[in-house]
């Protein structure tokens, strides 16, 4: 969005013009902040015009996401430029000093662990029964033998993920799965724990060929991610998530073998995440053999922060797509292939002796954390690599190392309305 690249010079000039006319105006944004957790929303008007908002709402504002001075694309200070304009137009007091209050001291940011990588040494598969049991909290329902509308809201799922599980009926050679009008919003299809493919609502093709190894009675799992509801304009009219238009098998309504679809809500609440077991590996018995789980996985570690607790950023470069928590605080989402954000803001209070459970933007519960360590938890949806690490940084951009990167895909499906670097 070109409006996100207004320079410090242009901003100052526009405000100057408004002040000379004695106009009333508001800065959008003076300070944007962060869309922690699952509250970022989306822009768009229909199924394919869909742009989920990124976690950062920095918006290239004069006050940056972490409370420091905002800078433009040329590294010019927007806060200072704006302050100078206001000082010229705000009558000084009798002694010639400014009426504008002095700037408060900044909360310092730090590259935790001196910028060295931190390995997330424990792994748990999202599809493992023990993980599903911990995350679902009993939020599991049956669709019945025939279900055309499988919207996740119908089963009490409103945020996070929804897992649709069933047994395959009799198949023919070259069987295919179709999501009419597309999933809402991103569906990963697994058969006996093995990934078959991914379908996203902005794709042009909603049909997926099942692998030649798929057989009758195999377990099929469809993991659907709600990437945010459109929060303005005509796109607000249709906001159901999951599979509101059902699933087709070989162009007919998918009729699972047995009692229909089993739908499990995975809202990814902090209180549920704390119960995830982290075994060395976990297996499951499919219809034909014992298999190792593939696909989405949680990665976890605890580490001491010797430098003290200050604001920081966590860099997800090298990962694929997923979510990050620090001390049970949901920092937000990343999608490195699409961009534009690979780096998530970690406020200092998230690193202190308290855990802030932000399950609702209106409710914060505080629990004492007696441990001197911080916990880092990542749900990686696309790249289940056991050796992945994260790195902490002191700023969104430091020198030539831009921690907030813009994807190369010109059809970028993540909204750029909130780019953190102007």
pLDDT digits (tens, 9 = 90+) for 236-270: 777 899 999 999 999 999 988 888 899 999 999 88
CB 135 within 8 A of CB 266: yes
| 335 DSSP 8-state letter | E
Between strands 354-360 and 140-142, the pairing is unpaired
| CA triple 397-402-405, angle to 5 deg | 125
Please compute the mean of the pLDDT values over residues 72-91 and round it to a whole number.
Answer: 90
Q: Could you give the percent of the chain with pLDDT greater than 90?
A: 45
pLDDT digits (tens, 9 = 90+) for 344-356: 999 888 886 555 4
pLDDT of the residue at 60? 87
Q: Is 372 exposed, middle or buried (0-12, 13-18, 19+ CB in 10 A)?
A: exposed
Residue 22 has pLDDT above 70, yes or no: yes
Please compute the mean of the pLDDT values over residues 180-206 and round it to a whole number.
Answer: 94
Q: Could you give the percent of the chain with pLDDT greater than 70?
A: 79
Least confident of 37-46, 206-215, 381-390: 381-390
What SS3 class is residue 273? helix
Least confident of 179-188, 196-205, 230-239: 230-239
pLDDT of the residue at 420? 27
Residue 339 has pLDDT above 60, yes or no: yes
CB 193 within 8 A of CB 129: no
In b/e form, how buried is each residue of 300-332, taking b as 16+ CB within 10 angstroms? bbeeebeeebbbbbbbbeebbbbbbbbbbbbbb
Phi and psi torsions of 144, nearest 5°: 90, 170
Q: Is this prediction's pTM over 0.75?
A: yes
pLDDT of the residue at 213? 87
Residue 1 has pLDDT above 80, yes or no: no
pLDDT digits (tens, 9 = 90+) for 120-165: 888 999 999 999 999 987 667 777 766 788 999 999 999 999 999 9
């Amino acid at each position: 969005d070109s409006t996100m690249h207004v320079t410090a010079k242009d901003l100052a000039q526009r405000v100057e013009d408004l002040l000379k006319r004695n106009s009333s105006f508001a800065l959008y944004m003076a300070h944007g902040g962060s869309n922690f957790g699952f509250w970022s929303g989306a822009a768009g008007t229909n199924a394919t015009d869909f742009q989920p908002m990124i976690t950062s709402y920095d918006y290239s504002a004069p006050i940056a996401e972490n409370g420091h001075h905002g800078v433009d694309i040329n590294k010019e200070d927007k806060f200072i430029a704006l302050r100078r304009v206001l000082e010229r137009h705000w009558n000084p007091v009798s002694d010639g000093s400014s009426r504008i209050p002095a700037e408060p001291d900044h909360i310092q940011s730090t590259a935790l662990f001196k910028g060295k990588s931190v390995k997330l040494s424990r792994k748990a598969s999202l599809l493992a029964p023990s993980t599903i049991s911990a995350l679902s909290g009993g939020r599991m329902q049956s669709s019945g033998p025939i279900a055309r509308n499988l919207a996740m809201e119908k089963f009490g799922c409103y945020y996070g993920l929804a897992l649709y599980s069933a047994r395959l009926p009799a198949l023919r050679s070259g069987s295919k799965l179709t999501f009419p009008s597309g999933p809402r919003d991103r569906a990963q299809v697994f058969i006996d724990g093995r990934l078959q493919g991914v379908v996203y609502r902005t794709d042009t093709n909603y049909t997926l060929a099942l692998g030649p190894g798929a057989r009758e009675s195999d377990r099929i799992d469809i993991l659907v991610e709600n990437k945010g509801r459109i929060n303005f304009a005509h796109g607000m009219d249709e906001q159901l998530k999951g599979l509101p238009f059902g699933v087709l098998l070989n162009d007919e309504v998918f009729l699972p073998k047995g009692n229909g679809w089993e739908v499990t809500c995975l809202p990814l609440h902090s209180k549920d995440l704390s119960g995830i077991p982290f075994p060395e590996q976990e297996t499951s018995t499919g219809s034909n053999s014992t298999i190792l789980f593939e696909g989405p996985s949680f990665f976890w570690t605890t580490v001491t922060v010797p430098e003290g607790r200050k604001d920081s950023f966590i860099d997800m470069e090298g990962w694929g797509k997923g979510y990050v928590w620090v001390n049970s605080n949901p920092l937000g989402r990343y999608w490195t292939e699409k961009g534009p954000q690979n780096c998530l803001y970690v406020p200092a209070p998230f690193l202190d002796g308290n855990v802030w459970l932000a399950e609702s933007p209106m409710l914060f519960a505080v629990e004492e954390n007696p441990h001197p360590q911080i916990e880092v938890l990542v749900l990686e949806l696309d790249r289940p690599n056991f050796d992945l690490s994260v790195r902490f940084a002191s700023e969104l951009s430091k020198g030539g190392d831009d921690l907030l990167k813009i994807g190369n895909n010109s059809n970028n499906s993540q909204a750029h309305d909130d780019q953190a670097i102007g």
